Structure 1
């Protein structure tokens, strides 16, 4: 097999992965952060209360500091951290789940960054958070990766999103946004993509997208 043919195959595979995600994601409009709306209705809420979904959530507002090169995950001073607004967002997020009666599988999964761990802890309790370093791989999708590396990360993400939570509960992942055209695409602060996993080897489906405003706002409160 020639190098040219191998490179073409890898690039083609990457494009297929991107298209699968894009076809799954149901956009509310042109895709701007301000249009990232909740598609909630009583039927969906009842389904969420029965469990079986994954909530992929971007961390809360993090505008304090910046991510430095070769930082240590335990050194928050070398990372971008939650603002006071972000901490309030995280608390509101957790309260919204409890108010709506949506059951959560514990522990909640979080990327190893300080901002993701703090978001998850403020929302669901620090003792209920499990760090998974794979979500750092998702963070790296926003950097200049080779097509092979990007495809590897997206393949692993597919596998994660196929795994169903424990019966009667929903899995929460607190991690990062994606670049445009990759994975779930840009996600606003505390924005959430609701995924229905169909089991290993059976794929997954994006069923709704939520902004924090819509999951916590009175105008969308569903009893």
Structure 2
């Protein structure tokens, strides 16, 4: 099973949706400022080590990546992406803040608009021979890709815009590191 999944991932065509590394305890401030990391939870030392390890694993497994990787504007997601893939290889995408907001009490229409946007992203096929990487947030239980552990990765196979997508696997950081064995 691991070998065939790894062989598929090496051919490209997947989206790796990963949650950021472990963050510090506490809450983001209500008046969060994306330019001020003091207004939000940030990576813990363990989270930084996880992020570095994540990038090392993907390179060791020779999984081809489409650069730049996408990151939510939160300091913890940007830092995770930069530690894993290099600071010049990260593009901040404000859309991923909307995924974070799914945990709030949203109006039904707002929630559906966000999920429709997510659907479009997850249906978009990466360039030939590469995999798209997104470093963002977990989802509330039972919504979209569901709850994701720190640096857990949901591997999605896009079928093309309007044709849906398939969740191929959900891997913890240790599952990912065991793929090559």
TM-score, with normalisation over the residues of structure 1?
0.79
Bigger Rg, structure 1 or 2 = 1
Quote the Cα distance in structure 2 between the aligned partners of 1:87 and 1:160: 27
1:209 maps to what in 2? 170
- Structure 2 counterpart SS, 1:67: coil
Tell me, yes or no, if the aligned pair for 2:102 and 2:140 is still in contact at 8 Å.
yes
* Structural RMSD (CA): 1.1
1:53 equivalenced with 2:9 (yes/no): no
2:161 maps to what in 1? 200
Which whole-Å deviations, capped at 9, do the CAs of 1:146-183 have from their partners, x for residues lacking one?
11111110011000101111111000000000111111
2:44 maps to what in 1? 83
TM-score, with normalisation over the residues of structure 2?
0.97
Quote the Cα distance in structure 2 between the aligned partners of 1:174 and 1:199: 21
- Structure 1 counterpart SS, 2:8: helix
Q: Aligned to 2:147, which of 186, 195, 202?
A: 186
- Structure 2 counterpart SS, 1:183: coil
1:143 equivalenced with 2:101 (yes/no): no
Higher helix share: 1
Q: Aligned to 1:105, which of 36, 47, 66?
A: 66
- Structure 2 counterpart SS, 1:119: helix
- Equivalences, count: 181
2:180 maps to what in 1? 222
Tell me, yes or no, if the aligned pair for 1:164 and 1:197 is still in contact at 8 Å.
yes
Which whole-Å deviations, capped at 9, do the CAs of 1:176-204 have from their partners, x for residues lacking one?
00111111111100000000001111111
Q: Which runs of 5+ in 2 are unaligned?
A: none
Q: Which runs of 5+ in 1 are unaligned?
A: 1-39
Which whole-Å deviations, capped at 9, do the CAs of 1:88-119 have from their partners, x for residues lacking one?
00000000000001000000000000000000
Quote the Cα distance in structure 2 between the aligned partners of 1:86 and 1:205: 28
Tell me, yes or no, if the aligned pair for 2:31 and 2:39 is still in contact at 8 Å.
no
- Structure 1 runs (4+) greater than 3 angstroms displaced: none
1:72 Cα deviation (Å)? 1.1
